[in-house]
Amino acid sequence: MGKTNNVESVVNREVVQGSGAVHSQGFVKHPFSDNTGTYPKVGKEEKPVTTQGGLLINTYGADVPVDTAQGNAANNTTCYTHTTPAGHTVEYNDTPGSERIMIRHKNGDGINIGPDGSIIISSKRRIDKANEDYFLEVKNGNLKFEGNLTIDVTGDFNVNVGGEYNVNSTKKTEVVNGPYKRTITGDDIKTVDGNQTNLVTGGGAHQYLEGLSTVVKGDSRYIVEGAHTQAVSKVLTMTAEQEVVLTSPEANIAASNLSVFGDTGTIGGENIIAYVKNIYGVSGDFSARFKAPVFEGDLDGNALTSTTAGTSLHQSYPDGSAAPSTYTPSVGNDPEYPVDDTEIDDTATAKPTSTLLTDYITKSDKGVLIVKVDPDDIQKNNIDLSKKTSGVTNKNIDITQVRRKMRDPAHRDNVEFTTLMLSEGKLSPDYANTSPPNVETVQDTETLIIQGSSVLGNPSPHLTSKRIIR
């Protein structure tokens, strides 16, 4: 035999270069075979075939957590994938770091059990039916419906929340065909940015075991068709900065100590009977008879006792020339009217002058209370943000929503809106900077000199670059 030269020995090559990774041996005998020569089995050529794998199921844009691994890396020796001629796939993946089981429809729907044990189910439509009990237990979760959601419960619907129960909705409607009971062990705080209406066809009761404050900015009306009772165990204070009107066919005011006074006005009526101890006044006008047991001071007019006394005590004789010459003077009889010289009680209180009335109304603890509710609409504007944002939004928005608003140049130029977002930390103070961070100077491109050349042919990219000189 002759000697054959330059024939590389497989053994020598393995010694020198190493064996490497051998993935297959033999020949591919069928187009649907895999390169390992294992599948399909002899006589099973028309059955599903094995490919390398590594496909993903279609999640339809779902917010899959970033730490969820689907395990799509594949290795021919550790990934066993069966794919039908139509494109349906079943994969068993033993590749380190991508261990998974996947069942995938040709349209991308399917089930993926990932390396960490997470299960992703993807489908265009899904129906779960349990004829008996259904139990679902989740540690933490997020349930998202991009369309409508209807929950029909023919029996009781119980919700037990160990932490906070938060509901955020653009509109809420509740219809309760029966009693409605609510028990709150803490504070009950409700904020309504709009109007509130309560209609009750029956009666009602409100009971507060501590204090109660009702504050109204604007007009308030309390209308009762029936009797109304207000009972206060301590002091009842009613003041008005302009006027108090009390009108009724019959009114009763009684007090152990009563004060009614004013600078001007009227007290009394045609059929009013007044019982008083002292009256202080500068004048009096009586159109009918007046009777009093005692007067102190001067009277202008005649009194019954004064007339009688004047007639009986003076020397009586006819006036004028007709008097008889034989007239004999005589002294009249004293009728001895009783005279009450008891000291008159002239106790006086404070005279209700205009100065006293002004001090009483404006300075005393019984004066008019000045009412100011939410001056300058501070509380209202903290709820309805329309004024604070100059109409950009009427409610609180998060950082993502702020970024959307800032895409509109009108919103970026809105000083009220940007100032509020800056104060709340939802907008960076450097948002208006046109230069990237850590750039000291930026020069206008119009002042730059560009030196270049026209290149012929199809040169490499580095020959077509331009040199820019500042």
Q: How confident is the model at residue 39 (pLDDT cuts 50, 70, 90)?
A: very low
State the total domains in the chain.
2
Q: Read off the pTM.
A: 0.55
Per-residue pLDDT, 319 = 56
Distance (Å, whole) CA 75 – CA 153: 49
Cβ count near 91 (within 10 Å): 25
Per-residue pLDDT, 276 = 84
Which residues lie closer than 8 Å to 90 by C-beta, 6 or more apart? 81, 82, 102, 103, 104
Q: Return the structure tokens found at 409.
A: 């140049």
Peptide bond into 40 cis (omega under 30): yes
Q: List, edge to edge, every strand of the sheet that includes 49-51.
A: 49-51, 79-83, 89-93, 100-104, 110-113, 119-122
Query: Has residue 266 been placed in a domain?
Result: no
Q: Return the structure tokens found at 442.
A: 């930026």
Comparing 8 with 116, the larger pLDDT belongs to 116
Distance (Å, whole) CA 18 – CA 272: 130
Instruction: Yes or no: say if 104 and 57 are a contact pair by the CB < 8 Å rule.
Output: yes
Query: Has residue 425 been placed in a domain?
Result: yes
Q: What is the dihedral of CA 101, 105, 109, 113, to 10 degrees?
A: 0
Query: Has residue 410 been placed in a domain?
Result: yes
Distance (Å, whole) CA 75 – CA 93: 8
Average per-residue pLDDT for the chain: 77
Which CATH number is 71's domain given?
Answer: 3.10.450.190
Of 225-229, 336-340, 432-436, the one with minimum mean pLDDT is 336-340
Of 13-22, 251-260, 381-390, the one with minimum mean pLDDT is 13-22
Q: Return the structure tokens found at 397.
A: 């928005």
Q: How confident is the model at residue 7 (pLDDT cuts 50, 70, 90)?
A: very low
Per-residue pLDDT, 133 = 92
Query: Among residues of the chain, what percentage have pLDDT more than 70?
Result: 69
Domain boundary among 122, 152, 182: 122
Per-residue pLDDT, 300 = 65
Q: How confident is the model at residue 275 (pLDDT cuts 50, 70, 90)?
A: confident
Query: Has residue 263 been placed in a domain?
Result: no
Compute the average pLDDT of residues 428-439. 74
Query: Has residue 389 been placed in a domain?
Result: yes
Per-residue pLDDT, 99 = 92
Q: Say if residue 307's pLDDT is above 60.
A: no
Query: Has residue 340 been placed in a domain?
Result: no
Render 120-149 in DSSP notation, one character per residue: EEE-SS-----SS------SS-----SS--
How distant is the alpha carbon of residue 171 from its chain centre? 13
Query: Has residue 88 been placed in a domain?
Result: yes
Domain boundary among 87, 122, 157: 122
Compute the average pLDDT of residues 19-28. 42
Highest mean predicted confidence (pLDDT) among 162-176, 195-209, 258-272: 162-176
Q: 372-400: per-residue pLDDT in tens?
A: 878 888 888 888 899 999 999 988 888 88
Q: Say if residue 42's pLDDT is above 60.
A: no
Query: Has residue 96 been placed in a domain?
Result: yes
**Residue 82 lies in domain:** 49-122
Q: How confident is the model at residue 461 (pLDDT cuts 50, 70, 90)?
A: low
Domain boundary among 89, 122, 155: 122
Distance (Å, whole) CA 208 – CA 212: 7
Q: 189-243: per-residue pLDDT in tens?
A: 888 888 998 888 788 988 888 888 998 988 898 888 888 888 888 888 888 888 8
Per-residue pLDDT, 347 = 76
Compute the average pLDDT of residues 450-454. 59
Q: Say if residue 249's pLDDT is above 70.
A: yes
Comparing 219 with 293, the larger pLDDT belongs to 219
